[in-house]
Copies of this chain bind each other. A is one copy, B any other.
């Protein structure tokens, strides 16, 4: 068997948090992981079936919740063990597919006009993305620094699916890890913005200035 099947473990890991439906998983990934991981419905349902087939999860049709055909999946002890094993295995480098950087690279033979335009587009896109991440960051910092719970946090708890078990678990570490992960998104987006700011003048000038940027004095 030649593949990695990482999405399988991503979904298994989410089920270790609590039993979920396919739709829950999709939403949770969109809210919390989308800037470093994604899953599509085309993966989720085949994977869920596979997990059940391998005995890593069980499937419960839950007619209680409104009569809708809601199907919840719950991880088994065997599944939990498989997840733990995966955590200990070596991991590959981050894989990236950056459309604008690709375009930028490919224009190098056709003069600098296209390159300048693409860089500017990249700057706009990344600043926008960064602003979005920073908004979430503020909400999370508030949540972490004070005991009472503002409205935004209630919303966040709901999005994360923490609105179910009021006092059994305080979610303190989850909240912290979520914040720390988000920080990585912020730092990387800032780096991409900084790249545009550094590189755009160079491309316009056609050459690298003698004095490099100040932070180069490491």
A-side binding surface: helix, strand, loop or mixed? helix
When A96-B96, A141-B208 are in contact, do A101 and B181 touch as well, CB less than 8 Å? yes
Bitwise, A119-153 to B at CB < 8 A (1) or not (0) is 00100010001000000000001001100000000
Interface string of A7-26 (1 = CB under 8 A from B): 00010011011000000000
Q: How far is the CB of A113 from chain B (nearest CB, A)?
A: 11
Contact present for B6 and A177 (CB under 8 Å):
no
A103 within 8 A of B: yes
A177: contacting residue among B14, B95, B108, B194, CB under 8 A: B108
| Nearest chain B CB to A159 CB, angstrom units | 15
Query: What are the 5 tightest A-B residue pairs by CB atom distance, in nearest-first order?
Result: A13-B106, A108-B177, A191-B191, A94-B98, A91-B99
* A interface list, Cβ under 8 A from B: 6, 10, 13-14, 16-17, 32-33, 35-38, 83, 86-87, 91-109, 111-112, 114-115, 118, 121, 125, 129, 141, 144-145, 173-174, 176-181, 183-184, 187-188, 190-192, 194-195, 198-199, 202-203, 206-208
Apart from A6-B99, A173-B206, A176-B206, 15 more pairs, CB < 8 Å: A6-B102, A10-B106, A16-B106, A16-B109, A17-B109, A36-B102, A37-B98, A37-B102, A94-B97, A95-B98, A96-B97, A176-B202, A176-B207, A183-B195, A184-B192
